[in-house]
Structure 1
Amino acid sequence: MGDSFQFIDIIFFAMIAAFLVLRLRSVLGKRTGNEKPRRTPFDAQAPDRRDAEDNVIDLPGRRGQDGDGEPEEEPQPQVRGGWGRAAASGVEAVRRADPDFEPESFLGGARAAFEMIVDAFAKGDKQTLRPLLSDAVYDGFARAIDEREAAGEVMQTELLGFKGISVTEAGVDDGIAHVTVEFVTEQVNAVRGRDGDVIDGDPERIAKVTDLWTFARDTRSRDPNWTLVATRTPDDD
Protein backbone atom coordinates (compact mmCIF):
# COMPACT_ATOMS: atom_id res chain seq x y z
CA MET A 1 0.00 0.00 0.00
CA GLY A 2 2.79 2.38 0.96
CA ASP A 3 4.63 1.61 -2.27
CA SER A 4 1.56 2.49 -4.35
CA PHE A 5 1.29 5.88 -2.62
CA GLN A 6 4.98 6.56 -3.33
CA PHE A 7 4.41 5.65 -7.00
CA ILE A 8 1.47 8.07 -7.19
CA ASP A 9 3.60 10.82 -5.60
CA ILE A 10 6.32 10.31 -8.22
CA ILE A 11 3.79 10.60 -11.05
CA PHE A 12 2.26 13.72 -9.45
CA PHE A 13 5.62 15.51 -9.11
CA ALA A 14 6.61 14.51 -12.65
CA MET A 15 3.41 16.10 -13.96
CA ILE A 16 4.17 19.30 -12.04
CA ALA A 17 7.74 19.40 -13.44
CA ALA A 18 6.48 18.88 -17.00
CA PHE A 19 3.93 21.68 -16.54
CA LEU A 20 6.59 24.09 -15.26
CA VAL A 21 8.90 23.29 -18.20
CA LEU A 22 6.11 24.01 -20.68
CA ARG A 23 5.27 27.27 -18.91
CA LEU A 24 8.90 28.40 -18.95
CA ARG A 25 9.24 27.63 -22.64
CA SER A 26 6.07 29.59 -23.43
CA VAL A 27 7.30 32.61 -21.44
CA LEU A 28 10.97 32.64 -22.43
CA GLY A 29 10.65 31.22 -25.91
CA LYS A 30 12.60 28.45 -27.55
CA ARG A 31 15.75 29.35 -29.50
CA THR A 32 15.80 27.74 -32.95
CA GLY A 33 19.00 29.24 -34.31
CA ASN A 34 17.01 31.21 -36.90
CA GLU A 35 16.29 34.30 -34.78
CA LYS A 36 16.81 37.69 -36.37
CA PRO A 37 20.11 39.29 -35.26
CA ARG A 38 19.86 42.08 -32.74
CA ARG A 39 19.99 45.54 -34.25
CA THR A 40 23.10 47.58 -33.58
CA PRO A 41 22.76 51.19 -32.39
CA PHE A 42 23.41 52.44 -35.94
CA ASP A 43 21.39 50.06 -38.11
CA ALA A 44 18.92 52.66 -39.40
CA GLN A 45 17.94 56.30 -39.39
CA ALA A 46 17.08 58.06 -36.13
CA PRO A 47 14.33 60.63 -36.82
CA ASP A 48 14.35 62.14 -33.32
CA ARG A 49 17.64 64.04 -33.64
CA ARG A 50 18.80 66.17 -30.75
CA ASP A 51 21.12 69.16 -30.80
CA ALA A 52 23.98 69.53 -28.32
CA GLU A 53 26.40 72.20 -27.24
CA ASP A 54 30.02 72.10 -28.37
CA ASN A 55 29.29 70.60 -31.79
CA VAL A 56 32.87 71.14 -32.91
CA ILE A 57 33.64 70.01 -36.46
CA ASP A 58 37.15 68.59 -36.29
CA LEU A 59 37.70 65.80 -38.79
CA PRO A 60 40.43 64.53 -41.14
CA GLY A 61 42.67 67.27 -42.45
CA ARG A 62 42.87 68.69 -38.92
CA ARG A 63 46.14 70.08 -37.71
CA GLY A 64 47.82 68.97 -34.51
CA GLN A 65 48.04 65.29 -35.40
CA ASP A 66 51.04 63.41 -34.11
CA GLY A 67 52.87 60.15 -34.47
CA ASP A 68 54.48 58.33 -37.37
CA GLY A 69 55.29 54.75 -38.15
CA GLU A 70 53.57 51.50 -39.00
CA PRO A 71 49.98 50.83 -37.89
CA GLU A 72 49.80 48.78 -34.71
CA GLU A 73 47.60 45.78 -33.98
CA GLU A 74 44.01 46.86 -33.38
CA PRO A 75 42.80 46.63 -29.77
CA GLN A 76 39.48 45.41 -28.48
CA PRO A 77 36.93 48.13 -27.54
CA GLN A 78 37.00 48.99 -23.86
CA VAL A 79 34.73 50.63 -21.33
CA ARG A 80 36.80 52.66 -18.93
CA GLY A 81 36.44 55.74 -16.80
CA GLY A 82 38.27 58.72 -18.22
CA TRP A 83 37.55 60.73 -15.04
CA GLY A 84 37.55 58.23 -12.18
CA ARG A 85 34.25 56.52 -11.54
CA ALA A 86 32.16 59.10 -13.39
CA ALA A 87 32.10 57.15 -16.66
CA ALA A 88 31.30 53.83 -14.97
CA SER A 89 28.43 55.31 -12.97
CA GLY A 90 27.21 57.04 -16.14
CA VAL A 91 27.13 53.74 -18.02
CA GLU A 92 25.05 52.24 -15.21
CA ALA A 93 22.65 55.20 -15.45
CA VAL A 94 22.23 54.53 -19.17
CA ARG A 95 21.60 50.85 -18.43
CA ARG A 96 18.89 51.73 -15.94
CA ALA A 97 17.19 53.99 -18.47
CA ASP A 98 17.69 51.50 -21.31
CA PRO A 99 17.94 47.87 -20.10
CA ASP A 100 18.93 46.76 -23.63
CA PHE A 101 22.06 48.94 -23.59
CA GLU A 102 25.21 46.82 -23.83
CA PRO A 103 28.48 48.82 -23.74
CA GLU A 104 30.49 46.36 -25.82
CA SER A 105 27.84 46.16 -28.54
CA PHE A 106 27.46 49.93 -28.44
CA LEU A 107 31.20 50.42 -28.97
CA GLY A 108 31.09 48.05 -31.94
CA GLY A 109 28.34 50.18 -33.47
CA ALA A 110 30.18 53.39 -32.60
CA ARG A 111 33.28 52.12 -34.37
CA ALA A 112 31.27 51.29 -37.50
CA ALA A 113 29.65 54.73 -37.40
CA PHE A 114 33.05 56.41 -36.97
CA GLU A 115 34.38 54.67 -40.07
CA MET A 116 31.29 55.57 -42.11
CA ILE A 117 31.24 59.20 -41.01
CA VAL A 118 34.95 59.84 -41.55
CA ASP A 119 34.78 58.25 -45.01
CA ALA A 120 31.57 60.06 -46.00
CA PHE A 121 32.88 63.43 -44.80
CA ALA A 122 36.07 63.04 -46.82
CA LYS A 123 34.05 62.11 -49.91
CA GLY A 124 31.48 64.85 -49.37
CA ASP A 125 28.71 62.23 -49.15
CA LYS A 126 25.91 64.12 -47.39
CA GLN A 127 23.35 61.40 -48.03
CA THR A 128 25.27 58.92 -45.90
CA LEU A 129 25.95 61.52 -43.19
CA ARG A 130 22.36 62.76 -42.78
CA PRO A 131 20.83 59.84 -40.77
CA LEU A 132 23.90 59.43 -38.56
CA LEU A 133 24.15 63.03 -37.33
CA SER A 134 22.05 65.40 -35.26
CA ASP A 135 20.76 68.49 -37.05
CA ALA A 136 23.42 70.77 -35.58
CA VAL A 137 26.32 68.44 -36.37
CA TYR A 138 25.02 67.74 -39.87
CA ASP A 139 24.75 71.48 -40.58
CA GLY A 140 28.38 71.95 -39.58
CA PHE A 141 29.58 69.00 -41.66
CA ALA A 142 27.54 70.07 -44.69
CA ARG A 143 28.85 73.62 -44.45
CA ALA A 144 32.45 72.37 -44.31
CA ILE A 145 31.83 70.15 -47.35
CA ASP A 146 30.24 73.02 -49.30
CA GLU A 147 33.14 75.34 -48.50
CA ARG A 148 35.64 72.69 -49.54
CA GLU A 149 33.87 72.06 -52.84
CA ALA A 150 33.51 75.78 -53.54
CA ALA A 151 37.25 76.18 -53.08
CA GLY A 152 37.93 73.25 -55.40
CA GLU A 153 39.59 71.27 -52.66
CA VAL A 154 39.67 67.47 -52.44
CA MET A 155 40.16 65.58 -49.19
CA GLN A 156 41.98 62.26 -49.11
CA THR A 157 41.58 60.14 -46.00
CA GLU A 158 42.76 56.61 -45.28
CA LEU A 159 41.79 55.14 -41.92
CA LEU A 160 44.50 52.57 -41.25
CA GLY A 161 43.35 51.22 -37.89
CA PHE A 162 42.21 51.77 -34.32
CA LYS A 163 44.68 52.05 -31.45
CA GLY A 164 41.98 52.54 -28.85
CA ILE A 165 38.20 52.79 -28.44
CA SER A 166 36.76 53.55 -25.01
CA VAL A 167 33.85 55.19 -23.21
CA THR A 168 35.02 58.28 -21.32
CA GLU A 169 31.69 59.83 -20.28
CA ALA A 170 28.09 58.69 -20.07
CA GLY A 171 24.84 59.72 -18.46
CA VAL A 172 21.14 60.41 -18.83
CA ASP A 173 19.57 63.87 -18.84
CA ASP A 174 15.77 64.17 -18.96
CA GLY A 175 15.48 60.79 -20.68
CA ILE A 176 18.23 61.51 -23.21
CA ALA A 177 21.15 59.09 -22.89
CA HIS A 178 24.54 60.35 -24.01
CA VAL A 179 27.80 58.42 -24.32
CA THR A 180 31.16 59.98 -25.21
CA VAL A 181 33.62 57.69 -26.95
CA GLU A 182 37.34 58.31 -27.38
CA PHE A 183 38.68 57.04 -30.71
CA VAL A 184 42.45 56.83 -31.13
CA THR A 185 43.19 56.01 -34.75
CA GLU A 186 45.99 55.96 -37.26
CA GLN A 187 45.20 57.87 -40.43
CA VAL A 188 46.75 59.29 -43.54
CA ASN A 189 45.14 62.64 -44.40
CA ALA A 190 45.72 65.25 -47.06
CA VAL A 191 43.78 68.07 -48.67
CA ARG A 192 44.61 69.07 -52.25
CA GLY A 193 43.77 72.34 -53.96
CA ARG A 194 42.47 72.95 -57.46
CA ASP A 195 45.91 72.41 -58.95
CA GLY A 196 46.38 69.11 -57.12
CA ASP A 197 49.01 70.42 -54.73
CA VAL A 198 48.79 69.41 -51.07
CA ILE A 199 47.59 72.38 -49.00
CA ASP A 200 47.02 70.55 -45.72
CA GLY A 201 48.12 67.23 -44.22
CA ASP A 202 50.68 64.83 -45.65
CA PRO A 203 49.82 61.89 -47.93
CA GLU A 204 53.06 60.16 -46.90
CA ARG A 205 52.63 60.47 -43.13
CA ILE A 206 50.81 58.16 -40.73
CA ALA A 207 49.30 60.30 -38.00
CA LYS A 208 47.80 59.29 -34.66
CA VAL A 209 44.50 61.12 -34.21
CA THR A 210 42.39 61.32 -31.04
CA ASP A 211 38.70 62.22 -31.30
CA LEU A 212 36.01 62.54 -28.64
CA TRP A 213 32.56 61.93 -30.12
CA THR A 214 29.31 62.11 -28.18
CA PHE A 215 26.35 59.97 -29.25
CA ALA A 216 22.81 60.43 -27.91
CA ARG A 217 19.50 58.60 -27.89
CA ASP A 218 16.04 59.29 -26.47
CA THR A 219 15.49 56.31 -24.17
CA ARG A 220 11.72 56.97 -24.21
CA SER A 221 11.61 56.31 -27.95
CA ARG A 222 11.17 52.88 -29.53
CA ASP A 223 13.87 53.80 -32.04
CA PRO A 224 17.04 52.04 -30.79
CA ASN A 225 19.42 54.12 -32.88
CA TRP A 226 21.95 56.67 -31.69
CA THR A 227 23.09 59.85 -33.45
CA LEU A 228 26.32 61.82 -33.26
CA VAL A 229 25.56 65.06 -31.42
CA ALA A 230 29.02 66.53 -30.77
CA THR A 231 32.65 66.12 -31.84
CA ARG A 232 35.81 67.48 -30.30
CA THR A 233 39.44 66.71 -29.65
CA PRO A 234 41.24 66.65 -26.28
CA ASP A 235 42.76 70.05 -27.18
CA ASP A 236 39.24 71.55 -27.14
CA ASP A 237 38.70 70.66 -23.46
Structure 2
Amino acid sequence: MTFTIVLLALVAAFLGLRLYAVLGKRTGHEQEPVARRSVEVQASPLLRQPSTSGDAASVVPGTDLSNVETAAQSGVKAISNADRNFDSTSFLEGSKTAYKMVLEAFWKGDKEALRFLCDDDVFTSFAEAIDGRAERGETLENRLVRIDEVRIVDASYDHPIARISVRFDADIAAMVKDADGNVIGGSMTDAVETHDIWTFMRDVKSDNRNWKLDETDSV
Protein backbone atom coordinates (compact mmCIF):
# COMPACT_ATOMS: atom_id res chain seq x y z
CA MET A 1 0.00 0.00 0.00
CA THR A 2 1.41 3.35 -1.00
CA PHE A 3 0.61 6.60 0.67
CA THR A 4 1.84 10.12 0.13
CA ILE A 5 2.15 11.97 3.41
CA VAL A 6 3.45 15.26 4.64
CA LEU A 7 5.00 15.51 8.07
CA LEU A 8 4.44 19.07 9.26
CA ALA A 9 5.87 20.46 12.49
CA LEU A 10 6.71 17.57 14.84
CA VAL A 11 5.72 18.91 18.23
CA ALA A 12 6.76 16.41 20.89
CA ALA A 13 4.40 17.64 23.59
CA PHE A 14 1.42 17.27 21.26
CA LEU A 15 2.31 14.05 19.53
CA GLY A 16 3.72 12.28 22.56
CA LEU A 17 0.33 12.29 24.27
CA ARG A 18 -1.35 10.90 21.18
CA LEU A 19 1.07 8.56 19.45
CA TYR A 20 3.56 6.91 21.78
CA ALA A 21 1.06 4.84 23.76
CA VAL A 22 -0.04 2.45 20.99
CA LEU A 23 1.98 0.70 18.29
CA GLY A 24 0.61 -0.97 15.17
CA LYS A 25 0.92 -1.55 11.43
CA ARG A 26 -0.89 -0.78 8.23
CA THR A 27 -3.18 -3.48 6.91
CA GLY A 28 -1.92 -5.70 4.14
CA HIS A 29 0.83 -7.58 5.98
CA GLU A 30 -1.22 -9.52 8.53
CA GLN A 31 -1.25 -12.77 6.57
CA GLU A 32 2.53 -13.26 6.45
CA PRO A 33 3.72 -13.88 10.02
CA VAL A 34 7.43 -14.45 10.56
CA ALA A 35 8.72 -15.33 14.02
CA ARG A 36 11.02 -12.64 15.44
CA ARG A 37 12.53 -11.81 18.79
CA SER A 38 10.59 -9.01 20.52
CA VAL A 39 12.92 -6.07 20.90
CA GLU A 40 11.21 -2.78 21.63
CA VAL A 41 12.00 0.21 19.46
CA GLN A 42 13.52 3.04 21.44
CA ALA A 43 12.38 6.60 20.82
CA SER A 44 14.72 8.69 18.68
CA PRO A 45 14.99 12.45 18.36
CA LEU A 46 12.33 14.13 16.26
CA LEU A 47 13.00 14.62 12.58
CA ARG A 48 14.08 18.20 12.92
CA GLN A 49 17.21 19.78 11.54
CA PRO A 50 19.36 20.89 14.51
CA SER A 51 19.85 24.59 14.91
CA THR A 52 23.30 26.12 14.95
CA SER A 53 24.83 26.54 18.40
CA GLY A 54 28.31 27.35 19.59
CA ASP A 55 31.21 27.60 17.17
CA ALA A 56 30.04 27.03 13.61
CA ALA A 57 33.40 25.50 12.83
CA SER A 58 32.55 22.60 15.15
CA VAL A 59 29.67 21.55 12.91
CA VAL A 60 30.67 18.74 10.57
CA PRO A 61 27.78 18.51 8.10
CA GLY A 62 26.67 15.20 6.61
CA THR A 63 30.09 13.59 6.65
CA ASP A 64 29.09 10.13 7.91
CA LEU A 65 28.16 8.14 4.81
CA SER A 66 28.17 4.71 6.45
CA ASN A 67 24.37 4.46 6.19
CA VAL A 68 24.14 6.15 2.80
CA GLU A 69 24.04 4.06 -0.37
CA THR A 70 26.55 4.97 -3.06
CA ALA A 71 23.89 6.32 -5.41
CA ALA A 72 22.73 8.78 -2.75
CA GLN A 73 26.10 10.06 -1.56
CA SER A 74 26.45 12.89 -4.08
CA GLY A 75 22.98 14.11 -3.16
CA VAL A 76 23.76 14.01 0.55
CA LYS A 77 26.93 16.01 -0.07
CA ALA A 78 24.97 18.57 -2.10
CA ILE A 79 22.48 18.95 0.74
CA SER A 80 25.35 19.33 3.21
CA ASN A 81 26.84 22.09 1.09
CA ALA A 82 23.49 23.88 0.94
CA ASP A 83 22.72 23.47 4.65
CA ARG A 84 25.82 23.55 6.82
CA ASN A 85 23.80 22.27 9.80
CA PHE A 86 22.74 19.09 8.04
CA ASP A 87 23.96 15.87 9.64
CA SER A 88 23.02 12.55 8.05
CA THR A 89 23.34 10.58 11.29
CA SER A 90 20.98 12.88 13.19
CA PHE A 91 18.63 12.88 10.22
CA LEU A 92 18.40 9.07 10.22
CA GLU A 93 17.75 8.98 13.96
CA GLY A 94 14.97 11.49 13.53
CA SER A 95 13.53 9.58 10.59
CA LYS A 96 13.02 6.53 12.81
CA THR A 97 10.87 8.56 15.17
CA ALA A 98 8.93 10.05 12.26
CA TYR A 99 8.33 6.53 10.91
CA LYS A 100 7.02 5.37 14.25
CA MET A 101 4.77 8.35 14.91
CA VAL A 102 3.12 8.43 11.49
CA LEU A 103 2.41 4.69 11.52
CA GLU A 104 0.95 4.90 15.01
CA ALA A 105 -1.40 7.71 14.06
CA PHE A 106 -2.70 5.72 11.09
CA TRP A 107 -3.01 2.46 12.98
CA LYS A 108 -4.95 4.11 15.80
CA GLY A 109 -7.21 5.90 13.35
CA ASP A 110 -6.28 9.19 14.97
CA LYS A 111 -7.57 11.63 12.37
CA GLU A 112 -6.77 14.66 14.48
CA ALA A 113 -3.10 13.70 14.64
CA LEU A 114 -3.05 12.78 10.96
CA ARG A 115 -4.58 16.13 9.99
CA PHE A 116 -1.77 17.78 11.91
CA LEU A 117 0.84 15.63 10.18
CA CYS A 118 -0.47 15.59 6.60
CA ASP A 119 -1.46 17.86 3.76
CA ASP A 120 -5.08 17.86 2.62
CA ASP A 121 -4.72 15.27 -0.15
CA VAL A 122 -2.83 12.82 2.00
CA PHE A 123 -5.08 13.33 4.99
CA THR A 124 -8.00 12.45 2.71
CA SER A 125 -6.29 9.21 1.69
CA PHE A 126 -5.63 8.25 5.29
CA ALA A 127 -9.13 9.24 6.38
CA GLU A 128 -10.70 7.13 3.63
CA ALA A 129 -8.66 4.09 4.70
CA ILE A 130 -9.62 4.63 8.34
CA ASP A 131 -13.29 5.07 7.41
CA GLY A 132 -13.12 1.86 5.38
CA ARG A 133 -11.89 -0.04 8.41
CA ALA A 134 -14.64 1.49 10.52
CA GLU A 135 -17.32 0.54 8.00
CA ARG A 136 -16.10 -3.05 8.07
CA GLY A 137 -15.98 -2.94 11.85
CA GLU A 138 -12.28 -3.79 11.83
CA THR A 139 -9.70 -2.69 14.39
CA LEU A 140 -5.93 -3.04 14.37
CA GLU A 141 -3.95 -4.19 17.38
CA ASN A 142 -0.39 -3.92 16.14
CA ARG A 143 3.06 -3.28 17.50
CA LEU A 144 6.29 -2.03 16.00
CA VAL A 145 8.71 -4.59 17.40
CA ARG A 146 11.92 -3.11 16.07
CA ILE A 147 13.54 -1.24 13.24
CA ASP A 148 16.33 -3.47 12.02
CA GLU A 149 18.02 -0.97 9.72
CA VAL A 150 17.63 2.46 8.19
CA ARG A 151 19.57 3.61 5.14
CA ILE A 152 19.48 6.62 2.88
CA VAL A 153 18.85 5.20 -0.58
CA ASP A 154 18.39 8.40 -2.58
CA ALA A 155 19.04 12.10 -2.08
CA SER A 156 18.93 15.21 -4.21
CA TYR A 157 19.11 18.97 -3.94
CA ASP A 158 17.18 21.20 -6.33
CA HIS A 159 17.54 24.68 -4.90
CA PRO A 160 16.04 25.27 -2.42
CA ILE A 161 14.44 21.83 -1.93
CA ALA A 162 16.33 18.90 -0.42
CA ARG A 163 14.88 15.43 -0.79
CA ILE A 164 16.04 12.29 1.00
CA SER A 165 14.62 8.78 0.62
CA VAL A 166 15.11 6.42 3.55
CA ARG A 167 14.64 2.66 3.53
CA PHE A 168 13.24 1.20 6.75
CA ASP A 169 13.60 -2.54 7.38
CA ALA A 170 11.37 -3.31 10.33
CA ASP A 171 9.59 -6.10 12.16
CA ILE A 172 5.95 -5.53 13.09
CA ALA A 173 3.47 -7.66 15.01
CA ALA A 174 0.15 -7.19 13.22
CA MET A 175 -3.35 -8.34 14.11
CA VAL A 176 -6.79 -7.31 12.81
CA LYS A 177 -10.10 -7.99 14.56
CA ASP A 178 -13.67 -7.88 13.27
CA ALA A 179 -16.60 -6.03 14.80
CA ASP A 180 -17.15 -8.86 17.31
CA GLY A 181 -13.56 -8.82 18.48
CA ASN A 182 -12.61 -12.00 16.64
CA VAL A 183 -9.11 -12.21 15.18
CA ILE A 184 -9.40 -12.38 11.40
CA GLY A 185 -5.73 -11.99 10.52
CA GLY A 186 -2.26 -11.86 11.96
CA SER A 187 -0.85 -12.56 15.41
CA MET A 188 0.71 -10.55 18.18
CA THR A 189 3.18 -13.34 18.94
CA ASP A 190 4.74 -13.27 15.48
CA ALA A 191 6.20 -10.41 13.50
CA VAL A 192 6.12 -9.46 9.85
CA GLU A 193 9.14 -8.22 7.91
CA THR A 194 8.40 -4.89 6.26
CA HIS A 195 10.52 -2.87 3.86
CA ASP A 196 9.41 0.71 3.32
CA ILE A 197 10.95 3.65 1.50
CA TRP A 198 9.89 7.07 2.75
CA THR A 199 10.93 10.31 1.11
CA PHE A 200 11.43 13.44 3.19
CA MET A 201 11.75 16.97 1.89
CA ARG A 202 12.72 20.36 3.26
CA ASP A 203 13.23 23.89 1.98
CA VAL A 204 16.74 24.46 3.30
CA LYS A 205 16.31 28.23 3.02
CA SER A 206 13.24 28.24 5.24
CA ASP A 207 13.33 29.16 8.92
CA ASN A 208 11.16 26.10 9.54
CA ARG A 209 13.73 23.40 10.28
CA ASN A 210 11.28 20.50 10.21
CA TRP A 211 11.53 17.99 7.36
CA LYS A 212 8.30 16.98 5.62
CA LEU A 213 7.51 13.40 4.75
CA ASP A 214 5.79 13.62 1.38
CA GLU A 215 5.88 10.06 0.04
CA THR A 216 5.99 6.48 1.29
CA ASP A 217 6.23 3.19 -0.53
CA SER A 218 6.62 -0.49 0.31
CA VAL A 219 9.17 -2.70 -1.44
TM-score, structure 2 normalization: 0.71
Structure (1 or 2) with the larger CA radius of gyration: 1
Distance in 1 (alpha carbons) for counterparts of 2:201 and 2:99 = 14
Task: Please tell me whether the aligned partners of residues 40 and 144 of structure 2 are also in contact (alpha carbons under 8 angstroms).
Answer: no
| Structure-to-structure mapping, 1:202-217, within 5 angstroms | 202-217=187-202
Q: Give the secondary structure class of the aligned counterpart of 2:36.
A: coil
Task: Please tell me whether the aligned partners of residues 40 and 145 of structure 2 are also in contact (alpha carbons under 8 angstroms).
Answer: no
> Which ranges in structure 2 are unaligned for 5 or more consecutive residues?
1-7, 13-24, 45-63
Q: Deviations over 1:126-171 (max 9, x none)?
A: 2222333344333221221121122211011111111111111111
Q: Deviations over 1:69-89 (max 9, x none)?
A: 3146979996220xxx32111
Q: 1:187 to 1:105 in 2, by over 3 A?
A: same
Q: Which residue of 2 aligns with 1:198?
A: 183
Q: How many residues align?
A: 178
Task: Please tell me whether the aligned partners of residues 161 and 203 of structure 2 are also in contact (alpha carbons under 8 angstroms).
Answer: yes
Q: Which residue of 1 aligns with 2:68?
A: 80
2:37 is the counterpart of 1:70: yes
| Structure-to-structure mapping, 1:218-237, within 5 angstroms | 218-234=203-219
Query: How far did residue 109 of structure 1 move?
Result: 1.2
2:165 is the counterpart of 1:180: yes
The one-letter amino acid paired with 2:148 is: K
Q: Which residue of 2 aligns with 1:104?
A: 89
Query: How far did residue 206 of structure 1 move?
Result: 1.4
Q: Kindly indicate which of the two structures has a greater share of residues assigned to helix.
A: 1
Q: 1:191 to 1:42 in 2, by over 3 A?
A: same
Q: 1:136 to 1:103 in 2, by over 3 A?
A: farther
Task: Please tell me whether the aligned partners of residues 39 and 145 of structure 2 are also in contact (alpha carbons under 8 angstroms).
Answer: no
Greater relative CO, 1 or 2 (CA 8 Å, sep 6+): 2
Distance in 1 (alpha carbons) for counterparts of 2:133 and 2:35 = 27
Distance in 2 (alpha carbons) for counterparts of 1:180 and 1:92 = 14
Query: How far did residue 173 of structure 1 move?
Result: 2.8
Q: Which residue of 1 aligns with 2:50?
A: none
Q: Deviations over 1:210-230 (max 9, x none)?
A: 111111112221101112111
Q: Give the secondary structure class of the aligned counterpart of 1:148.
A: helix
Query: How far did residue 193 of structure 1 move?
Result: 1.3
Task: Please tell me whether the aligned partners of residues 32 and 186 of structure 2 are also in contact (alpha carbons under 8 angstroms).
Answer: no
Task: Supply the RMSD in Å over aligned alpha carbons.
Answer: 2.8
TM-score, structure 1 normalization: 0.66
Aligned-pair identity in percent equals 33
Q: 1:66 to 1:200 in 2, by over 3 A?
A: closer
Q: Deviations over 1:53-80 (max 9, x none)?
A: xxxxxx5222375632314697999622
Q: Which residue of 1 aligns with 2:145?
A: 160
Q: Which moved more, 1:179-188 or 1:130-139?
A: 130-139
Q: 1:192 to 1:74 in 2, by over 3 A?
A: closer
Task: Please tell me whether the aligned partners of residues 66 and 209 of structure 1 are also in contact (alpha carbons under 8 angstroms).
Answer: no
The one-letter amino acid paired with 2:75 is: G
Q: 1:173 to 1:44 in 2, by over 3 A?
A: farther
